Amino acid sequence: MTKAFFVDTTTCTACRGCQVACKQWHGLPGDKTTNHGSYQNPEDLNFTTYKLVRMTEAEIDNKLRWLFFADQCRHCLEPPCLEAAGEPTAIYKDRATGAVLYTRVTKDLDADSIISSCPYNIPRKGPDGSLAKCDMCNDRVSNGLLPACVKACPTGTMNFGEYKDMREYARVRLAEVRHKFPKATLLNPDKVRVIYLTAFEPTTYWEYAVASQREFDMTRAMAMQRLFRPFTDLFARLG
């Protein structure tokens, strides 16, 4: 039975417990940041930040909204990055949970093509050229624990469970939320294991919140190209 997240942004208060819990569980350092005129910090995901609450001020229908989007890897059902890599020792899917996992071997991949394959702009390159992103706390999950971000969430924004249950819960919440927010929507629910619910136009939250079918097709095409690349090239890079 594979797993999924349901992220209900309508209840998120941007307390950022998830952001800290992620760093804590993974033993990641706090970045040396400066205040750049926003609460959102670090400014973007990076090699040591897998989870980031994006915060956007927007006037929608003459009302001020402060939109919070707890961004992370979507653990796609058919991950373009995995296909783009074509190298299971670098990027693979955990059969039990469905988590898309990166290893140190990612340093031997063409990082830029992996990053550009992601319709959600998630993977980030480290100093050694390897790639990093959310790993679904696969070690916790395989041992019967919730992912750290879900465990830390006080408001029911971050949910985790069986894939089927999360899809169902997402549908139920969408129906409830639509009474208050008629434009509420689920983001790519058929393509990902991290299903977001937004109250407003998803790109108002974040440019890469939702992927279009075209983006999936494009990354698929790139991946196919990759498959036909001469093996020598790959061996050369692995060497």
Partner 1 sequence: MTNHWIDLKNSDCILIMGSNAAENHPISMKYVTEAQSRGGKLISVDPRFTRTSAKADIYAPLRSGTDIAFLGGMIKYIIDNKLYNEADVVAYSDASFLVGDGFDFKDGLYSGYDAGKRAYDASKWTYQLDASGVPKKDLTLQDKRCVFQLLKTHYSRYAPDQVSKITGTPKKDLLEVYKAYAATGAKGKAGTIMYAMGWTQHTVGVQNIRAMSIIQTLLANMGVAGGGVNALRGESNVQGSTDHGLLFHILPGYIATPATNWPKLEDYLKRRPKSSDPLSANWWQNEPKYMVSLLKAYFGDAATANNEFGYPWMPKLDAGKAYSWLDLFDAMYNGSIKGFFAWGMNPACSGANAGKTRAAMKNLDWMVNVNLFDNETGSFWRGPGMDPAKIKTEVFMLPACVSVEKEGSITNSGRWMQWRYQGPKPLGESRPDGDIILALGNKLKELYKKEGGAFPEPILGLKWDYADSHGEFEPHKVAKTVNGYFLEDVTIDGTVYKKGTLVPTFGLLQANGSTSSGCWVYCGSYTEKGNMAARRNLQDAPNGIGLYPEFAWAWPVNRRIIYNRASVDLQGQPYDPKDWVIKWDGSKWVGDVPDGPWPPLENLQSPNAKARWPFIMTRHGFATIFGAGLKDGPFPEHYEPLECPVEKNYMNAQRINPTAPVWGGKADAFATCDPRFPYVGTTYRVSEHWQTGLMTRYQSWLMEMQPQMFVEMSEELAALRQIKNGERVKAVTARGQVECTAIVTKRFKPFKLADIVVHEVGFPWHYGWRWPASGKEESVNLLTPSTGDPNTRIPESKAFMVNIVKI
- Quote the CA–CA distance of 76 and 43 in Å, as a whole number: 24
Residue 89 binds to partner 1 (criterion: CB under 8 A): no
What's the maximum distance between 2 C-alpha atoms anywhere in the chain? 58
Q: Where do the H-state alpha helices sit in 147-210?
A: 148-152, 163-178, 202-205
Q: Nearer to partner 1 by C-beta: 37 or 230?
A: 37
Supply the minimum distance, in Å, between the C-beta of residue 15 and partner 1: 4
> Under the criterion CB under 8 A, does residue 57 sit at the interface with partner 1?
yes
**From 139, 176, 217, 233, residue interacting with partner 1 (rule: CB under 8 A):** 176
Minimum Å distance from CB 11 to partner 1? 5
Q: Which is nearer to partner 1, 129 or 154 (CB)?
A: 154
Residue pointed to by tokens 């999950």: 141
Looking at beta carbons only, is 2 or 11 nearer to partner 1? 11
Which range in 89-97, 121-129, 141-149, 151-159 contacts partner 1 by CB under 8 A? 151-159
SS3 63: strand
Query: Between 88 and 156, whose beta carbon lies closer to partner 1?
Result: 156
| Min dist. Cβ of residue 30 to partner 1 (A) | 3
Contacts of residue 148, defined as CB under 8 A and 6 or more positions apart, other chains included, come to 18, 21, 22, 24, 25, 26, 137, 140
Per CB under 8 A, does 41 bind partner 1? yes
**Does residue 152 sit in helix, strand or coil?**
helix
120's CB contacts (< 8 A; 6+ apart) are 71, 73, 74, 208, 209, 211
Q: Is 199 strand, coil or helix?
A: coil
Q: Which stretch binds partner 1 (CB under 8 A): 60-68, 70-78, 106-114, 121-129?
A: 60-68
Of 64 and 227, CB closest to partner 1: 64
Rounded least distance, CB 183 to partner 1, Å: 17
42 cis-preceded (ω within 30 degrees of 0): yes
User: Closest CB to partner 1 among 13 and 89?
Assistant: 13
Q: Where are the beta strands (DSSP E) in 98-179?
A: 100-102, 124-125, 131-132, 158-162
- Which residues bind to partner 1, rule: CB under 8 A? 11, 13-17, 19-20, 23-24, 29-39, 41-42, 57, 59, 64-68, 154-156, 176, 180
